[in-house]
Chain A
Amino acid sequence: AQTVTQSQPEMSVQEAETVTLSCTYDTSESNYYLFWYKQPPSRQMILVIRQEAYKQQNATENRFSVNFQKAAKSFSLKISDSQLGDTAMYFCAESQGAQKLVFGQGTRLTINP
């Protein structure tokens, strides 16, 4: 069964600091995709970054990057130079095979001024 685990319910850092959010997953598939979504207080889910399992190179999107460790089934998100607007819930998700999209429990991130 697909499972996605986020072990940090809440995190808090100062503005401009770097923060890393953890995610582990469990899958028996060889071809799958991993995603990080952001949910600000507006409730709108926004895609932050995606990673293809067959690519060894870690995905990056401006201040956001991932550390994808396939053997360890780990997919952490690093936010550099954090900004107040990064305050949100962050969800890790996995998509495989029949394209069922499974989410973790989320990490509530607060960026303090």
Chain B
Amino acid sequence: GAGVSQSPSNKVTEKGKDVELRCDPISGHTALYWYRQSLGQGLEFLIYFQGNSAPDKSGLPSDRFSAERTGGSVSTLTIQRTQQEDSAVYLCASRLKTLNTEAFFGQGTRLTVV
């Protein structure tokens, strides 16, 4: 596709359930980022993938959060045993490898834990 695609757009889940959020980056982009944005707040870095390098997981808030990127393309962010404080918009972005390039963002997944 022409842009970064995230699915689903919205997800309502019950507390304690597991959820998977998907990100399809722009073809050819080697860098992929996940961010969390709570209502009206800034972007909290979660995890960063760059090519075949080990991901930078330094932003994951707990061991309930994990992410993988298969074949250097699609990424899935998994949240296990969801809690109400996990409610937020989860944004994915992709970028070419070079330092000065623009990061392109998807529309995000709004997760609501009830």
Residues of A within 8 A of B (CB): 6, 31-33, 35, 42-45, 47, 50, 52, 91, 93, 95-96, 98-106, 108
Contacts and interface: CB of A to CB of B under 8 A. Distances in A.
Contact of A108 (B40, B89, B91): B40
Interface residues of B, number: 23
Interface stretch (B13-21, B64-72, B76-84, B100-108): B100-108
A45 B31 contact: no
B1 to A, nearest CB: 15
Given A43-B107, A45-B91, A101-B95, A50 B102 contact: yes
A1 to B, nearest CB: 9
A44 B31 CA distance: 19
A103 B31 CA distance: 16
B41 A105 contact: yes
Interface of B: 31, 33, 35, 40-43, 45, 48, 50, 56, 89, 91, 93, 95, 97, 99-100, 102-103, 105, 107-108
Contacts of A6: 42
A25 to B, nearest CB: 14
A95 B99 contact: yes
Contacts of A45: 91, 93, 103, 105
